[in-house]
Amino acid sequence: MLTGGELAALIVALFWAILVSFLAYALLRLARLLGETAELVGDLTDQAGPLLDDMAGTVRRANEQLGRTDVITRQVAGVTQNVSAVTTVMSTVFGGPVVKAAAFSYGVRKALGNRAAERPPARPEPPARRALRQASGKGRR
pLDDT digit string (tens) for 15-30? 999 999 999 999 999 9
139 in any annotated domain: no
**Separation of alpha carbons 63 and 125, rounded Å:** 90
Which pLDDT score is estimated for 112? Answer: 84
Position 13 pLDDT exceeds 90: yes
Please give the angle made by the CA atoms of 38, 39 and 40, to the nearest 5 degrees. Answer: 90
**Count of structural domains, the chain:** 1
Cβ proximity of 35 and 27 under 8 Å: no
121 in any annotated domain: no
Cβ proximity of 10 and 2 under 8 Å: yes
Which domain covers residue 49, as residue numbers?
4-116
138 in any annotated domain: no
**Separation of alpha carbons 129 and 25, rounded Å:** 134
Which pLDDT score is estimated for 90? Answer: 82
99 in any annotated domain: yes
In which band, very low, low, confident or very high, does the pLDDT at 75 lie, cut at 50, 70 and 90?
A: very high
137 in any annotated domain: no
CA distances, 70 to each of 62, 66, 77, 128 (Å)? 12, 6, 11, 89
- Output the pTM of the full model: 0.40
Which pLDDT score is estimated for 98? Answer: 78
100 in any annotated domain: yes
Q: What is the DSSP letter of 25?
A: H
17 in any annotated domain: yes
104 in any annotated domain: yes
**Separation of alpha carbons 115 and 121, rounded Å:** 13
